[in-house]
Each structure stands twice: as structure tokens, then as C-alpha cells.
Amino acid sequence: MVRNRGLSSSPLGHLAGSSRSRSGGNLWTVNSRRRPISSTRSDKLDSSVYLNVAERWWRAHQPWLEQCGYLLRQRYRQDWIPSWERKGVFSKLRAPEDIVELPATSRKIDATRISDGFPVHLHLVSEKKSPEEADIMLYLTSGQLGDDHDRGNHTIPVFEVLEVDDNRDLCVIVTPLMRACDDPWFENMGEVVDFLGQVLEGMKFMHAHGVAHRNPQLGGDAIMYDPTPCYPEGFHPVITKMNQCFTSEAFHHSRTERPVTYYFVDFRTAKCYHTHPTSPTSHHRTKHGRERVGESTVMDHPLLWKNNFAPEFARPEEKCDPFKVDVYLLGVEISRQLLEVRDDFFKYQGFEWLRPLIDDMCREDPKSRITAAEAYVRFLWLSASVNSADLDDKLISTRKRELARRVIRKWEKKLHLRTLLREIGLRDDVGSTNPSPAMSVSWLPVHSV
């Protein structure tokens, strides 16, 4: 019997017919335990030898999920016969779709809702490791918040939560199919500004309703977006640059042409500090007489997570404000992804205007640190001062810029372009020696210069 813990209407009604999220699979990956192609009858083949640990769980529960109304791809069905075994020949020209495997550490899988063909994501959650994840996601998306349900809410919609019959510790959270926030890379500053604004707005919403994330991340699958506007024809759920049929690259629009909505997806470390937003113990009066959740009134021991670089983590025995820790960690994430100069594709130039906001979010003293609501207002004010022409400029990562500089220096040295450019008049800041007569460019025609 299927026990449905909760059901909510999704604000993403327009998502029908879309496709989904990215990540980590390899186009040509086959499990290392693959057997050689056999000439014997394939109906005796145990195809599970081609699946990794994460995939085997989904395959074992495929009949149960189908009873619940969700159909997995052919690779994870009980009667699956690998296409390369069935045909007897493995084509090197194009990999078959069913050769693509999930990352071994993945806890989610794509599926199709049988009733209407709607693409969904199934998230496997352990209630021992993440006791509040499913309840918090339902709380933020199921309409319990009244009129505030859709106002600034960037929590991924939850269709239902299925409790696994053969393991009471596990449940499956059903959400729309999404795409990772950095897939593909942001094309210009305007796309990044839109992304950061929605992230700060979503953090403000969570804090206003008593939920601390406790480990905000900007990369990977922690924050995803609704791909329907950009990918009207869908895409492959694992190798996301490919189309659904796995025959060519997926057609898509840029996020500048068709803006998207971003959602917080990973709530494994989140914690709710108020059972209900109208709880009298969770509110305090503002100067305008209205009530809101008071972040500064909540104290808890810091969560010792892998990103334990907040000042509060230096004193784990002391209680701290988890909402202020969220603000600090998010500020560090923004700084690390956009402002720090490292040999990484994430590091871009042109975001120096964010430095005052980052400084206020990352103050050592939690009492002088701004709240998520103040950070959002400050961001809106700073982003409004950015020249509109700069928002359309292509992003250039510091790594690419440095590689270009190295290539230019290398060829300048080999071809003596320093002297040539100085004589042409395009480079007057280069050093020392007089141009060689042999390098004279007086003979060059005007259009060549």
C-alpha cells in the first residue's frame, strides 16, 4: 500500500511537457563490471550488472513506483535488456541512450508521471540523516503559509511524499524536473544579477517563516531552475546538453531571452525553528507595528558541516543565531563564486560593486551582521546602480582571461609582435628597445593596419 504523506498544488502549472536537471553522468560510461557481449540468448541476461549501487535501488523499486504513478526510463525497468546486448553490436558512432548511468552518489532520479506525461524528479531521503527535510519542503510549499505562499517563495514545489513500504526510514519526494542553476554557464552579468536577486529573496522568505537553511550553496544541484522557458523541447535528464532522444544537442534559448525562476532544492541540513508562522514566541514588533519572525530571538548550536568557516563554528559549544550564520555562509559563497580571483571557471570580473554587500554579510560579529531581509534590500539598491549596458556584457572568467594573456605573451615573444604593435601605434606601453629596421611596417597597406 502506498502512503502519501502530503500533496500540494504546484505553482508550476506551465511546466507540463518540459524536461529537467543536469549532472554528472558520462556519455560513454558503462559500469566496470560489464560482461563481454554474449552470443547466448539475451533473455537470460542479468542486466543489473550494468547498474551502480544508486541505480540498483531504483530498479528494485521500479514496480512500486509504477504503482504510485511514476514511470522510470527503460534502463531501470525490470525487463530491461541493454541495447548493445540486444543488437549484438556496440556502435562507436553514437552511444545508445540506455548506456548513460546516474552518478553513483546521486540520491535523485528522473521519471514521468503516468497520468499526464509530466516529467518529475524523485528524491530519495533518509529520515535518519535528514529528519526535517520532507516536512520543511511541504511546510514551505503546501499552502500552509496562506497569502505568503507564493510571495518571494523560491522553494521547489513538492507534489507529494511517498513513504517506502519496505523501509520506514526512507521516503521519496516528488518534485518537478529542474535543471542545475549553472547549467549552462551564465552568459552575462544580467543573468547573474537575476540569479542572486532570486537567491537572496528566497533566503529572506525562508527566514521570515522560521526556516534556517544552515548550508547555502550556489553551485551544482543545491539551487535549480525551471527549464521550460529555455528548453521548450526538453533535454536528456542526465546528459543535459543532449535532447530527449539522445540524437543531437538540445535546442535552447538563453536566460537573457527567456528569464527563468530559481528554486532551493537541497534541504538536508535545514531546520525549522517555529512550528507555525503565527506562533507568538516566534514574532516581534517592527517599528511599523507589524509582526515578523525574529531571527535574533532564536539560538541554537552551530551545525558542524563541511563548510564550517563561519566565526560561530570556532565555538561549537556556544549557541548562536542560525539565521545570521546563513547570511554569513551565503555571503562567503557569493564572494567565492564571483569576487575571489582563482584558477576556476566560476570566478568572473566586473562584480566589484558587490563588495560592500559582502562585507556587511560577512562581519565577524553576528550582532553587527545584516539580516537576509536587509541583504536583499541592499542588493536591490546596489544592482539598480549598475549601468544597463554592463548587464549585457559577456562574462569573462579570470581563468580564461589569464589563459588568453599567456597565449598573447607567448606569441608576442615568438613573432616579435611587441615591436610590430608599437610601430603600428597600437601598443605604446611596451618597454625598451628601438624597433628593428627589419621589422618596419611602413610597407603595410592602410587597410591592414
Question: What digits encode the pLDDT tens for the residues 234-273?
Answer: 999 999 999 888 888 999 999 999 999 999 999 988 999 8
Look at residue 113 and tell me whether its pLDDT is greater than 90.
Answer: yes
* Mean pLDDT value of segment 14-19: 39
Helical H runs in 142-245?
189-208
Nine cell digits for residue 311: 566565526
Q: 180-226+261-397 belongs to which CATH class?
A: mainly alpha
List Cα–Cα distances, 444 to 255, 412, 438, 439, 440, in angstroms.
44, 19, 13, 11, 9
* pLDDT number for residue 411: 59
CA 203 from centre of chain: 15
Query: How many helices (H) and strands (E) would you count in the chain?
Result: 11, 13
d(CA 357, CA 321): 20
Judged by DSSP in three states, 290 sits in coil
Higher-confidence residue of 372 and 28: namely 372
23 grid coordinates: 549532472
- When pLDDT is averaged across residues 385-407 and rounded to a whole number, the result is 71
Q: Write the CB contacts of 279 (distance below 8 Å, at least 6 apart in sequence).
A: none
Residue 200 pLDDT > 90? yes
Residue 163 has pLDDT above 90, yes or no: yes
Cα separation, 383 vs 390, whole angstroms? 11
pLDDT at 443: 37
Burial of 180 (0-12, 13-18, 19+ CB in 10 A): buried
Strands 108-113 and 179-180, how do they pair?
unpaired
pLDDT for 375 equals: 96
The residue ranking higher by pLDDT, 47 or 347, is 47
Which CATH superfamily hosts domain 1-33+51-79+91-177?
A: Phosphorylase Kinase; domain 1 (3.30.200.20)
Most confident of 61-75, 271-285, 308-322: 61-75
Residue 84 has pLDDT above 70, yes or no: yes
Tell me: pLDDT of 381 over 90.
yes
Q: Is 427 exposed, middle or buried (0-12, 13-18, 19+ CB in 10 A)?
A: middle
Half-sphere exposure of 87 (CA within 13 A, CB side): 7
CA distance 341 to 192: 17
Asked if residue 370 has pLDDT above 50, the reply is: yes
Taking the C-alpha atoms of residue 284 and residue 294, their distance in angstroms, rounded to an integer, is 6
Domain ranges of the chain: 1-33+51-79+91-177, 180-226+261-397, 398-448
Strand partners of residue 3 = 163
Question: What's the CA gap between 310 and 324, in Å, rounded?
Answer: 10
Lowest model confidence (mean pLDDT) among 25-34, 141-150, 367-376, 387-396: 25-34
Handedness of CA 358, 360, 361, 363 (dihedral sign): positive
Task: Extract the C-alpha cell encoding 316.
Answer: 561549537
* Sheet containing 170-176: order of strands: 3-7, 160-163, 170-176, 118-126, 108-113, 70-71
- Least confident range from 84-93, 175-184, 299-308: namely 84-93
Q: Is the pLDDT of residue 444 over 70?
A: no
First-to-last CA distance in the chain?
Answer: 78
Contact status, residue 271 vs residue 322, Cβ threshold 8 Å = yes
The whole-number pLDDT of residue 134 equals: 93
Per-residue pLDDT of 42-58, as tens digits, reads: 445 567 788 988 999 99
Cα distance between residue 224 and residue 183, in whole Å: 9
Task: State the Cα–Cα distance between residues 201 and 373, nearest whole angstrom.
Answer: 8
Instruction: Say whether 180-226+261-397 and 1-33+51-79+91-177 share the same fold.
Output: no
The grid coordinates listed for 286 are 517592527
Q: How far apart are alpha carbons 13 and 20 in whole angstroms?
A: 15
